């Protein structure tokens, strides 16, 4: 129907199903080589395996005429869209709701020994019903109960955990670090080192102190503690998803938060030019 996105891996379109007129998102990707094709097939496999209300739903895929087409659930946009307009102004209970939903999706993955490895606002999808879902599994990795750590360096620099940057063994805790960076995005508009040369960003992440909120006086002690817990440089001390779901900041989420978030998003969309 129309193109709604363009990224490094390909284009995204709104498509409709001929039989019933329902709308979906279609990712159209031309793999550059066999290695990239394997990465895409990995995304498809892990999306298929991750059936959860906080993970983007996968429907089908095709390998045709040099392209791979992936049909997934259509969402209104991603968290980056909201951050660009509303960073630092989103009520904390709504931020807590977004985090709760993302953590719930990550917990589902982590419980099955999967690491997302690219948690960032671009890959957190939202719609006008107030739903929040994890998407884009191009960097996701499958662990096993016997081998619970990996050493491959992948991800987007500003959101990468120190142990990932240095090539050390790492596990699901790298996703927790990335969550903390998303918290800085929500509060300040962008992650640390975004404007630095990528190599310099990686150096600063690995050698510098943990990033922190610049204006702590604007935020509650619970939010500050949540961010700092996620951004502990020692992954052994970093909390698990289960522990984060019991964090005082997440416990502030009211029972009707999804309705409030939907209303907030609709109001925001109505005010946009």
Q: d(Cα 112, Cα 101) in Å, to the nearest integer?
A: 17
15 Cβ neighbours under 8 A, 6+ residues apart: 1, 23, 24, 25, 26, 71
Output the pTM of the full model: 0.85
CB 5 within 8 A of CB 14: no
Exposed, middle or buried, 181 (CB in 10 Å: 0-12/13-18/19+)?
buried
What percent of the chain is predicted at pLDDT more than 90? 43
pLDDT, average across residues 209-229: 95
Helix axes of 173-188 and 221-230: crossing angle, nearest 10 degrees: 140
pLDDT digits (tens, 9 = 90+) for 31-72: 888 877 877 777 677 677 667 899 888 888 888 888 888 888
> What's the confidence (pLDDT) of residue 272?
66
CB 271 within 8 A of CB 263: no
pLDDT digits (tens, 9 = 90+) for 89-138: 999 999 999 999 999 999 998 888 888 888 888 889 999 999 999 886 55
Q: Which of 81, 118, 122, 136 is catalytic?
A: 118
Q: Strand, helix or coil at 50?
A: coil
CB 163 within 8 A of CB 234: no
CB 161 within 8 A of CB 173: yes
What percent of the chain is predicted at pLDDT more than 70? 89
> What's the confidence (pLDDT) of residue 253?
95
> What's the confidence (pLDDT) of residue 28?
86
The residues that bridge with 71 in the sheet, in sequence order, are: 26, 60
- Longest CA–CA span in the chain (Å) reads 56
Query: Could you tell me the pLDDT band of residue 154, with boundaries at 50, 70 and 90?
Result: very low
| Nearest alpha carbon to residue 160 among 209, 207, 117 | 117
CB 83 within 8 A of CB 185: yes
The residues that bridge with 14 in the sheet, in sequence order, are: 2, 25
pLDDT digits (tens, 9 = 90+) for 254-273: 999 999 999 999 998 887 66
Q: Is the pLDDT of residue 194 over 50?
A: yes
The sign of the dihedral angle between the CA atoms of 232, 176, 188, 118 is positive
Range with the poorest average pLDDT among 14-23, 132-141, 175-184, 220-229: 132-141
> What's the confidence (pLDDT) of residue 171?
86
Asked about 118 being catalytic, the answer comes back as yes
128 phi/psi in degrees, rounded to 5: -75, 0
């Amino acid at each position: 129907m129309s193109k709604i996105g363009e990224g490094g891996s390909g284009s995204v379109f709104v498509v409709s199903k001929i039989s019933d007129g329902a709308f979906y998102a279609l990712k159209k990707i031309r793999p550059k080589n066999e290695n990239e094709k394997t990465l895409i097939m990995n995304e498809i496999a892990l999306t298929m395996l991750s059936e959860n209300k906080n993970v983007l739903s996968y429907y089908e895929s095709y390998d045709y005429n040099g392209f791979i087409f992936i049909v997934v659930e259509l969402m209104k946009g991603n968290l980056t869209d909201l951050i660009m307009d509303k960073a630092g102004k989103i009520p904390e209970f709504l931020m807590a709701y977004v985090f709760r939903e993302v953590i719930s999706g990550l917990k589902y993955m982590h419980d099955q020994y999967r690491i997302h490895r690219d948690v960032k606002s671009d890959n957190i999808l939202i719609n006008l019903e107030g739903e929040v879902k994890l998407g884009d599994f191009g960097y996701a990795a499958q662990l096993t109960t016997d081998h619970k750590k990996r050493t491959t360096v992948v991800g987007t620099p500003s959101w990468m955990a120190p142990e990932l940057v240095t090539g050390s063994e790492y596990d699901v805790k790298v996703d927790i670090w990335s969550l903390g960076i998303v918290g800085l995005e929500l509060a300040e508009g962008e992650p640390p080192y975004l404007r630095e040369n990528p190599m310099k960003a990686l150096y600063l992440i690995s050698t510098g102190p943990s990033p922190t909120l610049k204006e702590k006086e604007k935020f509650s002690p619970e939010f500050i503690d949540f961010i700092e817990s996620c951004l502990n440089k020692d992954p052994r001390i970093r909390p698990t998803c289960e522990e984060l779901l019991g964090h005082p900041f997440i416990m502030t989420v009211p029972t009707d938060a999804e309705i409030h978030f939907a209303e907030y998003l609709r109001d925001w969309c109505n005010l946009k030019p």
